[in-house]
């Protein structure tokens, strides 16, 4: 879960991925990397933001439906914006912003900020494919400061299987179970309420089975043509279910939405997770049967520690200041700094010219985080979500649908 405070000392007047009153008081322009609740604190407030909110086109649809009080500016991925920032206190300045695909969930982006004196990359949550990692150089993203998704910056999480491999395994488990008995159904518990669309698409397309979700879950997807053939409201006829959150007044609770210990024998539950897969190595099984008909499959939309190092090395020798966006406490911060320094040192010794200062690791001091934003110390334990707190998205994003805001002008 993000512990980023929402503002950047080098870029006064902008707020990123946090929208509570302290950030609103200090910002006139806002940015949202993606629609996960730990990056949206303050966005549900009734009062509109005191400035435009820049988002990807995909995110604009979701936010526009849920929070029409805000002024949204959709920014196509890889597009460059030239803005004039006028902080509440201090002089105005020119800011160049580019969006970079983050591949954490549909519509997720990184923000690359440039001024005359600052080059800063805010990653948000991310897990880049090899192709996107290669493309970073082509986009001329050359930050000296990086705010890093440090969710799995931990020796225990050096490896996650590719997401496609994880999806292949989930499809295989579902296929085998559904073929075994025509009465069998699958209850899928994804790691977050929003962001598993690619998994849903592959299940529906490869197994020719529509997926049942509640109406409040499905409502945002109605605005994306690619998902027209993926979901169904036929709770009785569907054989794959991803029902989470609250039901609307006319809906009854689905049989597959119950906790797995209350499931009948014909229901198999699949939980894509990342947190429980400590010390996984390439070539080892990344799926495991739990009690009864419960299966866990390693599935991560955050970069592993090895992938984080590879990403940072792709930004060298420019990057000199690395700040962690996910920190549990002071002990966690210090441990992550030590680990990252040790992992980057071999490449750093080669890339830093003689006489120059070696790469400096920096994290915002613990006092910059509010107590409610702190995480429990990361532990190798069973979890329903990749990052603690993702499950509360049900209340934030899947409540009763709201009407789309009236828009003026073109997007």
Contact 203, 174 (CB under 8 A): yes
CB half-sphere exposure, 33, CA atoms < 13 A = 32
What pLDDT sits at residue 367? 36
**Regions of the chain short of the pLDDT cut 50:** 347-411
Question: What is the Cα–Cα distance from 190 to 202, expressed in whole angstroms?
Answer: 14
Chain position carrying tokens 């800063």: 120
- pLDDT for 360 equals 47
pLDDT of residue 391: 37
Query: Buried b vs exposed e over 287-308: b needs ≥16 C-beta within 10 Å?
Result: beeeeebbbbbbbbbbbbbbbb
Instruction: Return the sign of the alpha-carbon dihedral for residues 301, 306, 310, 315.
Output: positive
Distances (CA, A) of 343 to 58, 105, 331: 35, 27, 18
Three-state secondary structure readout of 374-400: CCCCCCCCCCCCCCCCHHHHHHHHCCC
Cα(91)–Cα(109) distance, integer angstroms: 28
Q: Evaluate whether 324 touches 150 at the Cβ level (below 8 Å).
A: yes
d(CA 127, CA 2): 15
Interatomic CA distance for residues 2 and 156, integer angstroms: 20
- Superfamily covering domain 13-157+302-369: Ribonuclease Z/Hydroxyacylglutathione hydrolase-like (3.60.15.10)
Distance of CA 71 to the CA centre of its chain: 22
pLDDT digit string, tens, across residues 90-110: 999 999 999 999 999 999 999
Domains 13-157+302-369 and 163-298 share a fold: no
CB 102 within 8 A of CB 147: no
Half-sphere exposure of 119 (CA within 13 A, CB side): 9
For tokens 């509109």, the residue is 48
Q: For the chain, what are the domain ranges?
A: 13-157+302-369, 163-298
Residue 97's pLDDT is 98
Please name which of 11, 9, 37, 1 lies closest in space to residue 19, comparing C-alpha atoms: 37
Task: Identify the CATH assignment for 163-298 out of 3.40.50.300, 3.40.50.12650, 3.40.50.10190, 2.60.40.3950.
Answer: 3.40.50.12650
In terms of Cα–Cα distance, which of 140, 224, 235, 110 is closest to 185? 235
Q: Kind and range of the H or E element at 101?
A: strand 93-101
> Residue 341: enclosing H or E segment and its boundaries?
helix 330-351
State the distance between the two ends of the chain, measured CA to CA, in whole angstroms. Answer: 31
Helix axes 130-138, 305-315, angle to 10 degrees: 20
Q: Determine the Cα–Cα distance for residues 380 and 383; give it in Å rounded to an integer.
A: 9
Sheet holding 145-148, edge to edge: 80-85, 93-101, 109-114, 119-122, 145-148, 321-324, 360-361
- What pLDDT was estimated at residue 191? 78
Whole-prediction pTM value?
A: 0.83
3-state secondary structure string, 250-273? CCCCCHHHCCHHHCCCCEEEEEEE
């Amino acid at each position: 879960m993000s512990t980023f405070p929402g503002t950047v000392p080098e870029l006064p007047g902008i707020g990123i991925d946090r929208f509570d009153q302290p950030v609103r008081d200090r910002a006139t322009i806002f940015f949202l990397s993606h629609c996960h609740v730990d990056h949206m604190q303050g966005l549900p407030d009734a009062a509109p933001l005191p400035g435009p909110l820049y988002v990807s086109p995909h995110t604009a649809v979701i936010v526009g439906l849920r929070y029409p009080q805000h002024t949204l500016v959709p920014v196509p991925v890889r597009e460059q914006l030239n803005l004039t920032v006028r902080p509440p206190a201090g002089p105005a300045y020119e800011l160049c912003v580019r969006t970079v695909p983050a591949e954490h969930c549909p519509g997720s982006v990184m923000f690359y900020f440039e001024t005359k004196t600052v080059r800063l990359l805010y990653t948000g949550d991310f897990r880049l494919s090899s192709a996107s990692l290669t493309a970073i150089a082509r986009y001329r993203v050359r930050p000296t400061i990086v705010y890093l998704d440090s969710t799995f910056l931990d020796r225990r999480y050096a490896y996650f299987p590719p997401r496609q491999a994880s999806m292949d395994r989930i499809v295989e488990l579902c296929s085998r179970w559904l073929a075994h008995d025509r009465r069998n159904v699958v209850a899928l518990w994804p790691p977050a309420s929003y962001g598993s669309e690619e998994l849903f698409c592959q299940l529906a397309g490869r197994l020719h089975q529509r997926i049942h979700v509640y109406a409040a879950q499905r409502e945002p997807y109605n605005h994306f043509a690619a998902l027209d053939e993926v979901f169904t409201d036929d709770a009785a006829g569907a054989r794959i279910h991803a029902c989470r959150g609250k039901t609307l007044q006319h809906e009854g609770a689905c049989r597959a939405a119950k906790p797995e210990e209350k499931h009948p024998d014909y229901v198999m539950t699949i939980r894509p997770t990342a947190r429980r897969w400590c010390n996984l190595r390439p070539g080892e099984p990344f799926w495991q049967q739990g009690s009864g008909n419960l299966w866990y499959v390693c599935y991560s939309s955050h970069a592993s520690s090895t992938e984080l190092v590879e990403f940072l090395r792709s930004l060298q020798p420019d990057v000199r200041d690395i700040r962690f966006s996910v920190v549990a406490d002071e002990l966690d911060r210090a441990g992550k700094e030590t680990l990252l320094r040790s992992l980057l040192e071999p490449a750093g010794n080669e890339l830093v010219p003689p006489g120059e200062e070696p790469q400096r690791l920096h994290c915002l001091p613990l006092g910059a985080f509010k107590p409610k934003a702190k995480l429990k110390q990361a532990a190798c334990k069973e979890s329903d979500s990749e990052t603690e707190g993702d499950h509360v998205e049900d209340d934030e994003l899947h409540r009763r649908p709201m009407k789309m805001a009236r828009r003026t002008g073109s997007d």
